[in-house]
Amino acid sequence: MRSLLRTPMMAPLVRDSALVWLASGVVGVSFGAVAVAGGLPVWVPVVMSLVVYAGSAQFSAVGVLLAGGGPFAAAATGLLLNTRTAAFSLAVADVLGGRSRLARFLGAHLVTDETVAFTLAQSDPVRRRTAFWVNGLGLFAAWNIGVLAGALAGSALGDTATYGLDAAFPAVLMALVLPALRKDAGIRRAAVLGAVVALAVTPAVPAGVPVLLALAGLFVYGRRRAAA
């Protein structure tokens, strides 16, 4: 892994990842502040971010806790929302660490929507592998630093929703996937199908589940490629 991070492509990947890291840090500040302002001790969002490391699942779990739900209900909610990363892991299985168990474990921990999107946007296998680790490690650091900063700030930031921080990640993800959508008509059809499914089920299912069901678009795309 060290050799990958020392390649000439390192600087361009760091530059391209910087926006994702910035968005992660900003939303991390929001999460830490929301958790502490709601009454949780500082260590809860900090430890959760290190161990769980899943933005949407963490927000949902904290929401359950602040609403009076128990730890089991919070954990179940976070687990449900984070099941989509199992499919994401399959998409980047070739870059998760090779033969080293420790590297594979760390790589699996770094799998997020943003890191997978950034990795799949690379065409060259070596660049894909380097992009995963550069983006993943930087994102993990930025998220946890942001969460710590937000937790320490506590309620001093006021209502974090007024800053529109929730729009940061969707905007970054859209920027990452646009090149792939432009190049491949099959991916565009899969994205449209996934969006239709997600919108259709949104009124009837808990938050986060529509994203999981939208993976049906990838299933159809994979079947068509296999048949071609």
Residue 41 has pLDDT above 80, yes or no: yes
Q: Summarize pLDDT for 105-136 with one digit per residue, the tens.
A: 888 888 888 888 888 888 788 888 888 999 99
What was the pLDDT predicted at 196?
A: 87
Length of the chain: 228
CA-CA distance, 112 to 84, in Å (whole number)?
9
What was the pLDDT predicted at 167?
A: 57
What was the pLDDT predicted at 46?
A: 92
Question: Mean pLDDT over all residues of the chain?
Answer: 77
Q: Summarize pLDDT for 175-208 with one digit per residue, the tens.
A: 656 766 777 777 788 888 888 888 888 888 765 5
Q: Quickly state the pLDDT bin for 141 (edges 50, 70, 90).
A: very high
Q: Quickly state the pLDDT bin for 166 (edges 50, 70, 90).
A: low
Mean pLDDT comparison of 29-38, 120-129, 144-153, highest-scoring range:
144-153
Residues whose CB falls within 8 Å of the CB of residue 175, separated by 6 or more in sequence, listed in order: 19
CA-CA distance, 118 to 5, in Å (whole number)?
16
Geometric angle at alpha carbon 49, from 19 and 65, rounded to 5°: 120
> What number of helices (H) and strands (E) belong to the chain?
13, 0
Q: Quickly state the pLDDT bin for 145 (edges 50, 70, 90).
A: very high
Q: Is residue 45 within 8 Å of 29, Cβ to Cβ?
A: no
* Residue tagged 């969460």 (tokens): 147
